[in-house]
């Protein structure tokens, strides 16, 4: 399946099989396995494999998806939204540092990479929301997972850091009449 290259994005393939995508939101590059061939024809990019061996088939799909994610990232970008659920849970953005107050005896300071832009929405009567934006899908997923691991949602009341729209598996509390 070819990857379509939108207007404003340039994709180049170097001699060492490194694919570079440059667009309005930045530049990303990925080194592709030497067995996999990447060709650009017009505004489409095709990825081909030499054989149907399981190894070549899996690498073909992997690199095609990685390149498609790079192209989408430099043209549109990616966004991750996380919500802090719990009484007194707060977050502030100071420069590139997120300062969390998550019910521990101390505040947690989380330094964001330079490639990620963050925004905090903290309104009265609603849970604080952290919005992360970046061109790199892998990096934004990694940072979002690290932030979530600071206080995972617990299964009884759902308190913790969760993704917006995530459905949590809830457990029933202890029964009063259990014998």
Distance in angstroms (rounded) separating the CA atoms of residues 72 and 4: 10
The CA-atom distances, in angstroms, between 59 and each of 39, 49, 52 are 16, 8, 11
Q: What is the pLDDT of residues 9-25, one digit of tens each?
A: 888 888 888 999 998 98
Mean pLDDT of 168-173: 86
Mean pLDDT of 16-39: 89
* Residue 160 Rama label (left phi>0; alpha psi -120 to 50; beta): left
Per the prediction, the chain carries an average pLDDT of 89
| Cβ atoms of residues 66 and 30 within 8 Å | yes
Name which of 171, 160, 167 is nearest 85 in CA terms.
Answer: 160
Q: What is the pLDDT of residues 60-116, one digit of tens each?
A: 989 999 999 999 999 988 999 999 988 888 999 999 999 988 888 999 999 999 889
Distance in angstroms (rounded) separating the CA atoms of residues 109 and 93: 10
pLDDT classification of 176: cutoffs 50, 70, 90: low
Q: What is the pLDDT of residue 142?
A: 94
* Residues with Cβ within 8 Å of residue 58, at least 6 apart in sequence: none
Name which of 22, 26, 20 is nearest 6 in CA terms.
Answer: 22
């Amino acid at each position: 399946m070819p990857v379509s290259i939108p207007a404003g994005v340039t994709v180049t393939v170097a001699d060492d099989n490194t694919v570079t995508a440059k667009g309005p939101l930045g530049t990303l590059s990925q080194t592709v396995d030497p067995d996999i061939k990447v060709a650009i024809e017009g505004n489409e990019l095709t990825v081909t494999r030499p054989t149907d061996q399981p190894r070549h088939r899996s690498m073909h799909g992997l690199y095609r998806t990685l390149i498609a994610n790079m192209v989408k990232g430099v043209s549109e970008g990616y966004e991750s939204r996380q919500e802090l659920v719990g009484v007194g849970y707060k977050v502030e953005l100071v420069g590139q540092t997120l300062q969390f107050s998550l019910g521990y005896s101390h505040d947690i300071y989380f330094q964001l990479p330079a490639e990620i832009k963050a925004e905090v929405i903290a309104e009265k009567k609603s849970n604080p929301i952290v919005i992360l934006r970046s061109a790199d899908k892998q990096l934004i997923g990694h940072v979002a997972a690290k932030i979530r691991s600071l206080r995972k949602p617990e299964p009884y009341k759902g308190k913790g850091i969760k993704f917006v729209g995530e459905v949590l598996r809830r457990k029933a509390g202890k029964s009063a009449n259990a014998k």
